[in-house]
């Protein structure tokens, strides 16, 4: 039985016996290569669910939609490994109760996908630990190597070119499961902390602030990078931040539901190389 059929059946079962009120999954999109999020709330609709290697988006952000979980009912969601890590972070940051989330896990396997065992975030604990022990393949991304070899000045002008394209559409933020703040710092306007203008300075402020707010919290799901309509390679920033969090603080974002946020916790032996 294909994993798609297997998960459709499970969705049908959970919806008919009332164990979940909603299934957040994927369905076909405008073109054959596109998949889009879909919200299934009755057993009759489960055939709309599609699951294959084109299902890439991290859907966990929808779980923190205002008041979705406030009735204490459960919601099922299709998640890749990064999505499962985001559930851990959202739970650690008290944004959701993980007991309300039923996970339909899957991971890429060559050109296809395979199902992951488990339904509750806790059951994925060992799996997530194993992820943290296998450094991601993109460690050897050629663009990253090129960037690392640049002088600070060259790197600055690389990012200047990139950020000058930003139109402040905030698609990166809206697509990011970790950007759940009801009022983002750029939307706080009494006073206005961050320039809202999409000029190069304002764009630097925005992108750097967002990078800092995501440091040690980003699971590198790529939602932001794919959402950016002007193709700013946000994944490079995310990668750099993840490497930094790991090397300086031995921190792997979303390792567990009790993990402390790296920039908001203090250990006596924390590296202090950046303090003058």
Partner 1 sequence: MPKILSADKLDNCIERWKSSGNTVIGPVRKSNISAYRPVEKASEFELDIVLPDLSIKELFFPQTEPILKYAIRKQAIDTTEFLPPSGKRIVFGARPCDASGVAIDDPLFGWDYRDEYWFQRRNETVIVSIACVKADDFCMCTSLNLAPDSTMGSDILLRPINGGKGWLVEEITDRGRDAFASIADLLQESTESPVPPAAVPEKFNLEACVEWLKNPENFESRFWKEISVRCIGCASCTYLCPTCHCFDIQDEGDTYSGIRRKNWDSCSFALFTMHTSGHNPRSTQSARWRQRIMHKFNYFPGKFSLNKCSGCGRCSRQCPVDMGITETLQEISKLLP
Q: Which does 9 bind (CB under 5 to 8 A by kind): ligand SF4, partner 1, none?
A: none
Binding-residue pattern over the window 212 to 251 for ligand SF4, x denoting contact by CB under 6 A: --x---xxxxxxx--xx-x-x-----x-------------
- Residues 138-177 within binding reach of partner 1 (CB under 8 A): 161-162, 165, 167-171, 173-175
- Residues 155-184 within binding reach of ligand SF4 (CB under 6 A): 166-172, 175-178
Residue 271 CB, shortest distance to partner 1, in Å, is 34
Residue with tokens 């559409």: 169
Could you say which of 3, 37, 95, 147 contacts partner 1 (CB under 8 A)?
A: 37
Binding-residue pattern over the window 17 to 36 for partner 1, x denoting contact by CB under 8 A: ------------xxx--xxx
Could you say which of 155, 213, 226, 240 contacts partner 1 (CB under 8 A)?
A: 226
Angle at 196 between CA 153 and CA 253, to 5 degrees: 65
Q: Decide: 23 and 49 in contact? Cβ < 8 Å.
A: yes
- Residues 173-212 within binding reach of partner 1 (CB under 8 A): 173-175, 187, 192, 195-199, 202
Coil, strand or helix: which one is 31? coil
CA pair distance 36, 194, nearest whole angstrom = 32
Q: Give me the residues paired with residue 107 across strands.
A: 114
Residue 7's nearest CA partner among 20, 31, 69, 82 is 20
Taken as a whole, the chain contains a residue count of: 276
Could you say which of 10, 51, 60, 61 contacts partner 1 (CB under 8 A)?
A: 61
Strands (E), the chain: 22-28, 35-40, 75-79, 101-109, 112-115
Q: How far, in whole angstroms, is CA 92 from its chain's centroid?
A: 15
Residue 221's nearest CA partner among 206, 233, 238, 237 is 238
Q: Give me the numbers of helices (H) and strands (E) for the chain, helices first please.
A: 9, 5
Number of residues that bind partner 1 (CB under 8 A): 37
Q: Does 84 bind ligand SF4 (CB under 6 A)?
A: no
**Rule CB under 8 A: which residues touch partner 1?**
29-31, 34-39, 57, 61-62, 161-162, 165, 167-171, 173-175, 187, 192, 195-199, 202, 223, 226-227, 229-231
List of residues contacting ligand SF4 (CB under 6 A):
58, 166-172, 175-178, 207, 214, 218-224, 227-228, 230, 232, 238
């Amino acid at each position: 039985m294909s994993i798609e059929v297997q998960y459709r059946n499970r969705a049908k079962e959970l919806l008919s016996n009332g164990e979940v009120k909603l299934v957040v999954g994927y369905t076909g999109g405008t073109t054959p290569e596109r998949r889009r999020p879909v919200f299934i709330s009755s057993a009759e609709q489960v055939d709309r669910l599609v699951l294959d290697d084109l299902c890439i988006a991290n859907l966990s952000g929808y779980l923190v939609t205002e008041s979705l979980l406030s009735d204490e009912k459960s919601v099922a969601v299709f998640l890749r490994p990064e999505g499962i890590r985001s559930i851990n972070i959202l739970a650690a940051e008290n944004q959701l109760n993980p007991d309300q989330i039923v996970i339909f896990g899957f991971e890429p396997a060559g050109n296809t996908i395979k199902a992951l065992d488990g339904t509750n975030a806790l059951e994925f604990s060992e799996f997530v630990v194993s992820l943290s022990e296998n450094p991601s393949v993109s460690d050897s991304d050629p663009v990253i190597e090129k960037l690392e070899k640049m002088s600070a000045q060259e790197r600055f002008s690389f990012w200047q070119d990139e950020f000058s394209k930003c139109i402040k559409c905030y698609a990166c933020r809206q697509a990011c499961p970790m950007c759940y703040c009801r009022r983002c710092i750029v939307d706080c306007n009494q006073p206005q902390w961050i320039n809202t203008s999409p000029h190069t300075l304002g764009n630097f402020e925005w992108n750097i602030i967002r990078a800092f707010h995501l440091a040690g919290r980003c699971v590198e799901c790529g939602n932001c990078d794919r959402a950016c309509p002007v193709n700013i390679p946000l994944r490079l920033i995310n990668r750099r931040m993840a490497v930094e969090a790991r090397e300086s603080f031995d921190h792997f974002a979303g390792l567990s539901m009790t993990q402390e946020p790296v920039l908001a916790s203090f250990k006596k032996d924390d590296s202090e190389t950046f303090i003058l």
